[in-house]
Structure 1
Amino acid sequence: MNTKLYTAIYVVLFVSATVQVLVEFAGLAYWTAFALIMVLSAMKAVLVAAYFQHLRWEPRSLTYLIGIGLAAALALTFAASYSIL
Structure 2
Amino acid sequence: MADVRTYTLIYVVLLVLGTGKFAFFEFTPYNIALTATFLLAIVKSLLIAGYYQHLLEEPRSITYMMGIAVFMVLLLTIAAGYSIQ
Report the TM range for the smaller structure's normalisation: over 0.9
How big is the shift at 1:35? 1.2
Aligned to 1:23: 24
CA RMSD across the alignment: 0.9
Shift of 1:17: 0.1
TM normalised by structure 1 equals 0.93
By how many angstroms is 1:30 displaced? 2.3
Which range moves more in the overlay, 29-38 or 73-82? 29-38
| Structure 1 equivalent of residue 54 of structure 2 | 54
Question: Which ranges of 4 or more aligned residues in structure 1 deviate by more than 6 Å?
Answer: none
Q: Within 1, Cα distance between the matches of 2:31 and 2:81? A: 19
1:80 aligns with 2:48: no
- Report the Cα distance in structure 1 between the residues aligned to 2:38 and 2:23, rounded to whole angstroms: 14
Distance 1:55 1:10 in 2: 17
For residues 29 and 7 of structure 1, the distance between their equivalents in structure 2, rounded to whole angstroms, comes to 32
Q: What SS does structure 2 have at the residue aligned with 1:21?
A: helix
Post-superposition CA distance 1:26-47 (Å, at most 9, x none): 2x22221111111111100000
Q: Which has the higher contact order (CA 8 A, sep 6+)?
A: 2
Q: What does residue 68 of structure 1 align with?
A: 68
Q: How many residues align?
A: 84
How far residue 23 of structure 1 moved from its aligned partner, in angstroms, is 1.1
Q: Distance in 1 between matches of 2:73 and 2:82?
A: 14
- What residue is the counterpart of 1:10 in the other structure? 11
- Structure 1 unmatched runs, 5+: none
Percent of pairs with identical residues: 42
Return the alpha-carbon distance in structure 1 between the equivalents of residues 83 and 25 of structure 2.
29
